[in-house]
Amino acid sequence: MGHKIGGRGVTWDRVNGTSLEVACDESGSDGENLTGGNTDVFAHASVRLTEECAAAQVREIRGRIRSPAEQYKANHLLREKHRTVLEWLLSESGPLFGHAHVHLVEKTFFVVDRTADLLLGDPRAAGALFRAGPRTFTEEEWREFLTAANRLLRVRSAEGPEEPVAGFFRTVDGLLRAYSGTPAADVLARLATERPRAVAYRDGIDSAGPPLVPLLNPLLPSVVRTAAHWSRGGRPVRLAHDRQNMLTPERIAWIERTARRQGVGLAGLRLVVSRYDARVQLADFLAGIARSIASDELNGRGDPALAALLRPYTGASAVWGDARSWARLGPAAMESGHPAMDSAGPATGVNSPA
């Protein structure tokens, strides 16, 4: 059953008139390899349209692009020859405006955040180290720290449980000796005392097997943040998500439990096949486009016009540590940058796995 708002279809519950379902997809999944993968940004996009309206919009996109490809992806829209189509899609006159959302994750900041949460239980420490580290260390040293942190938290390791711990603390101790007295040293000194927590974490993986929710996979908390966005004001939301190996029944149950615990009105999550659901195809377009635009901004090669078009879609709970790029990418209503940024650093918008 569809209801039109501004000429666009929005799905409604037949029983009580509340919003029924939002379609989701992601872009930038590299598993737990967040510092050496193919992408430096993860994007989780969601679209609230009726299937009929979404199908009509996919046909419109195909008609504008005129490509013989059987299935369109974001890279079709990102080609320079299709720039006008991309601008239309994101514009106020396009089909997604007011009916779509993107949760962004800067992967290297996610690694620092998860490390600080595991070892210190202090999300503010992540922001402090993420600001001070690149300013203090050489580029190679900062990369070495990020890689060591990624190896420490990553579930799968061919080195056994001891080496990820030893390698991380060798790196921390070396940086602490070289940069004592610097702002970065304050957090490094705290991390250096938490070897027992790191050992317990690796021993737990070794004895009990992989955890249900890997610390370094951004998908699961991103789904919760997406549900939180759409359920603001107490309106329950259901999610239809593209099939993904990470979304097992057990992890879907974890998402639903976590959402309830946080007061998020997630009424359920089901998996769909994207080629049969035009809403998910639009979410796939948006996720890929957002990831590409955000990555360009993060790396200093951004397009101001595209960044401005993306801003109405980005969420304030993004896991983002780079203030310069977030000033361009952050929600348009937050002109000062990340709404949670203060002198102590950015809030991550991520909740620790339970």
Tally helices (H) and strands (E) across the chain. Answer: 14, 7
* In contact, 269 and 252? CB cutoff 8 Å: yes
Q: Which pLDDT tens digit goes with each residue over 43-86? A: 999 999 999 999 999 999 888 987 665 566 677 777 888 899 99
- Would you state the pLDDT for residue 49? 95
- Would you state the pLDDT for residue 9? 43
- Would you state the pLDDT for residue 75? 72
Q: Which of 80, 173, 177, 183 is nearest to 135 (CA)?
A: 183
Pull the structure tokens for residue 50. 């009726």
Mapping DSSP to helix (H, G, I), strand (E, B) and coil, where does residue 23 land?
Answer: strand
* In contact, 229 and 199? CB cutoff 8 Å: no
Residues of the chain falling short of pLDDT 70: 1-20, 67-73, 333-354
- For the entire predicted model, the pTM comes to 0.88
What is the β-pairing status of strands 21-27 and 237-242? parallel
- Would you state the pLDDT for residue 353? 34
Q: Which of 114, 169, 196, 124 is nearest to 177 (CA)?
A: 169
Q: Which residues contact 205 (CB under 8 A, 6 or more apart)?
A: 155, 161, 211
User: What are the angstrom distances between the C-alpha of 248 and each of 34, 212, 245, 252, 272?
Assistant: 21, 10, 7, 6, 13
- Would you state the pLDDT for residue 158? 72
- Would you state the pLDDT for residue 248? 97
d(CA 347, CA 225): 14
Mapping DSSP to helix (H, G, I), strand (E, B) and coil, where does residue 72 land?
Answer: coil
d(CA 8, CA 249): 33
